[in-house]
Amino acid sequence: MLRVPDLATGKTKPQWVGGFDSEKSAKLARDKARVSLSNSNYVAPSKATVGDYLITWINDVHASQLKATTLERYKRVINRYLVPELGAIKLQDLRPSHVQKVPSMKKRVF
């Protein structure tokens, strides 16, 4: 069990994580999570994918803040390059090496 801060209230709440094949791997994961919590870079386990995040990000967060032409260009890049290459990766599993392997990211796509 971890005590994870709730950003809305500022209080901590318990979070349980399961599905480990052994007690040793569960304790290792717990210890890593505690270190991440103390470094303020903890990411709660989630099934959200990079594709889910990108679509939500562009449509719900930034659509109202961008000019129509910029929004369309961003959507085109997301749909043409990012989602096909990275979309199925769980957001919490995304690493810089994944992004570096995307062929279109080696050149400027914007």
The pLDDT value given to residue 106: 58
Q: Is the pLDDT of residue 104 over 90?
A: no
> Residue 10: what pLDDT?
76
Counting the structural domains of the chain, the total is 2
65 and 24 in one domain? no
Examine residue 62 and state whether it is found in any structural domain, yes or no: yes
pLDDT band at 62 (very low <50, low <70, confident <90, very high): confident
Please say if the pLDDT value at position 65 is more than 70. Answer: yes
The range of the structural domain enclosing residue 13 comes to 2-38
- Is 87 within 8 Å of 54 (Cβ atoms)? yes
The mean-pLDDT minimum among 4-18, 30-44, 81-95 falls in 4-18
Question: Does residue 29 sit in the same domain as residue 68?
Answer: no
Let me know whether 32 and 63 are in one domain: no
- Is 89 found in the same domain as 61? yes
Q: Are residues 55 and 91 in the same domain?
A: yes
Question: What does the pLDDT look like over 14-39, one tens digit per residue?
Answer: 877 778 899 999 899 888 888 888 88
From the list 73, 83, 85, the residue with the least C-alpha distance to 109 is: 73
**Residue 65 placed within a domain:** yes
User: In terms of domains, do 25 and 72 share one?
Assistant: no
pTM for this prediction: 0.61
CA dihedral 105, 91, 39, 11 (to 10 degrees): 140
